């Protein structure tokens, strides 16, 4: 049977791994964009480590001065964080669910109203409904009416 009803999803969700130069392939199979995200993550982690780790604590490292020791620790720490994190996250980020989707989900989850807050009756989480006092027949005639309800202007058409 001719499967003429095909979605484009297979073609569009084509993974695009970057293998690196032929002599130096990447360590694991990952999408190009994931590798870019890994690089960004690595730089961020390195920066944080550099800022957070006080250099004088590393003075005891033999054969290295403070700065060199700090560079070494930051490099090792960066790899130790970035590689497992990206290896764990990489399979989740696909063409079908790109990183922007995950940020959107994170945002949705953070913004979703919580039950605990509802009990305090804050505006959060209340869907303000068009409260229509629907009474279109007045003295036997249909009354064109506009009810300004919170957020929704409602009018019967002509």
Partner 1 sequence: MKNPLRRIRKNLATDATESTATKVKRRDNGQLAARAVYRNLIAADTGVWALYTLENVPWEGLDATDRQRVMSSWNQTLYELSSRGRIGVRLRGVPVPFPLHDFCVSVDQSTQARRIAAAGVDTVEEYAETVEGQAFAADMLRVQDYVHRHQTRKRSTVLEVRVSPRKMPRGMSDLQLVASPDRIEGPYGKLEDLRLELRRINKIITGSPDGFVAPNAEPVGRPMTPKTIGWLIHAAVGMGMPVPTATLAGPRAGWDSDEVAGFTNLVEASQAPLAPTTELHTRRVVDHVVTTEDGRSIVRSDLDTLTSHVCVLHARGFQDRSTAEVANRALLPYLHHLSTLPFDVDFIAAGELIPPDEMETQASRVTSVAEDLGEHRAEHGMRVDVRQGDAVRNAMEYEDSVRRARPGDATRFRGVVMAAVTGATEAEVMESKVPQLVSDTRRNARYELVVQAGQYASYRAFIPGEPVNLKGSVTQQRLPVLAAAVPHVDTTFGDRTGMVLGPIAGSRDLAILDPHGGPAAGVSGVILNAGQQGSGKTTFLSSLAAYSAGTLAVRTVFSDPSGATERLIQEVPTLAKHGRVADLASAGSAQGSMSPSVLIPEPDRAMFKDDDEHEAAVESAKAERRQTLLDAFLLKLPPALGESARDSLIVAVQTSYGEYQQSPWEAIAALEKDKSDAGRHAAALLASDANSLGMRQLMPARMANGAPDRLATDLGTELFTILKLTGINPPAANLDRKDWDESNKAAMLLLYLSTRAATRAMYADKSKSTVLIDEVAMQFSASFAGFAARVSADSRKWNGCVAFSTQNPHTLHGMAPQITNLAGSVFIGTMKSKEAALAGLDLLGVSRDDAAFTQTLLSRRPGHWLARDWTGRVAYLGQSKDLFSPELAEATKTDPIDRSAHIEVEYEGVENR
Size of the site for partner 1 (CB under 8 A): 60
Per-residue binder mask for partner 1 (CB under 8 A), 117-146, x = binder: xx----xxxxxxxxxxxx-----------x
Query: Of the two residues 43 and 118, which places its CB atom closer to partner 1 in the complex?
Result: 118
CB-nearer residue toward partner 1: 79 or 105: 105
Considering only residues 3 through 42, tell me which ones interact with partner 1, judged by CB under 8 A.
3-12, 14, 16-19, 22, 25
73 versus 93: smaller Cβ distance to partner 1: 93
Residue 147 pairs in a beta bridge with 154
Residues 35-94 that bind partner 1 (CB under 8 A): none
- Minimum CB separation of residue 154 from partner 1 in Å reads 6
Residues 71, 74, 77, 81, Cα dihedral to 10°: -130
CB of 20 to partner 1, least distance (A): 9
Among 72, 79, 113, 143, binds partner 1 (CB under 8 A): 113
Distance from the Cα of residue 142 to its chain's centroid = 51
Question: What are the Cα distances from residue 153, in Å, to 70, 99, 137, 148, 149?
Answer: 63, 38, 20, 5, 6
CA distance 110 to 146: 36
- For tokens 């009416």, what's the residue? 145
What is the DSSP pairing of strand 152-155 with strand 146-149? antiparallel
d(CA 101, CA 140): 54
What is the binding site for partner 1 (CB under 8 A)? 1-12, 14, 16-19, 22, 25, 96-98, 100-105, 107-115, 117-118, 123-134, 146, 150-157
């Amino acid at each position: 049977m001719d499967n003429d009803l095909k979605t484009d999803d297979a073609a569009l969700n084509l993974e695009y791994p970057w293998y690196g130069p032929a002599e130096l392939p990447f360590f694991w199979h990952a999408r190009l964009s994931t590798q870019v995200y890994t690089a960004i993550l690595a730089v961020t982690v390195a920066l944080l480590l550099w800022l957070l780790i006080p250099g004088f604590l590393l003075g005891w490292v033999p054969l290295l001065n403070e700065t060199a020791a700090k560079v070494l620790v930051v490099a090792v720490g960066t790899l130790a964080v970035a590689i497992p994190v990206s290896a764990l996250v990489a399979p989740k980020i696909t063409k079908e669910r790109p990183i922007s989707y995950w940020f959107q989900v994170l945002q949705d989850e953070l913004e979703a109203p919580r039950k605990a807050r509802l009990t305090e009756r804050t505006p959060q989480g209340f869907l303000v409904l068009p409260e229509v006092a629907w009474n279109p027949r007045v003295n036997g005639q249909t009354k064109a009416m506009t009810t300004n309800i919170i957020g929704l202007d409602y009018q019967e058409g002509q």
